[in-house]
Amino acid sequence: MDQDLEITLMVNGTPVTRRVAARTHLVDFLREELGLTGSHVGCEHGVCGACTVRVDGDIVRGCLMLAVQADGAKVETVEGLSDSKALAALQKAFHEKNALQCGFCTPGMLMAAQDLVSRKSRPTREEIRAHISGNYCRCTGYQAIVDAIEAVVNAR
């Protein structure tokens, strides 16, 4: 029998308290319970990066973390970072460089890219590639994505 547990966490700056089944993954909780559907669900086993969210400052796979493990944590999704304008330069560059086609990978890709540019002021192309290597894109061939991230760091 599945057990419901009460959790309280901060999601995009707003305190949230809910009862959740212990087996609920964080990304499913965010999408289905809170309606934050910007984080996508692709492989559901930690490979594709579509579900990337930030927990207590670090990007994690939302499909590999249980919602109950985020009890007491500060969680940020692509919606929160967009609202805070943290992603504005990257979103503009992705648009200008045609760094998306279907867009399925894009929220996770933006989260990974933002993590890199917030930690490192002048990453090389190789470092950009390495940092997004855990985020799969089936459409673009990655070149335009790397171009977009590079354009943001070069504009600094």
Per-residue b/e over 7-33, b at no fewer than 16 CB within 10 Å?
bebbbbeeebeeebeeebbbbbbbbee
Around Cβ 103, how many Cβ atoms within 10 Å? 12
How many Å apart are CA 16 and CA 29, to the nearest integer? 11
Nearest to 135 by CA among 70, 42, 37: 42
Q: Which of 67, 137, 144, 148 binds ligand FES (CB under 6 A)?
A: 137
**Cβ closer to ligand FES: 7 or 148?**
148
CB 62 within 8 A of CB 23: no
103 is a site residue for ligand FES (CB under 6 A): yes
39 is a site residue for ligand FES (CB under 6 A): no
146 is a site residue for ligand FES (CB under 6 A): no
Minimum distance, C-beta of residue 52 to ligand FES, in the bound complex (Å): 8
48 is a site residue for ligand FES (CB under 6 A): yes
How many Å apart are CA 65 and CA 82, to the nearest integer? 23
95 is a site residue for ligand FES (CB under 6 A): no
Q: Which of 22, 47, 88, 130 binds ligand FES (CB under 6 A)?
A: 47
Residues that bind ligand FES (CB under 6 A): 41-44, 46-51, 61, 63, 100-105, 137-140
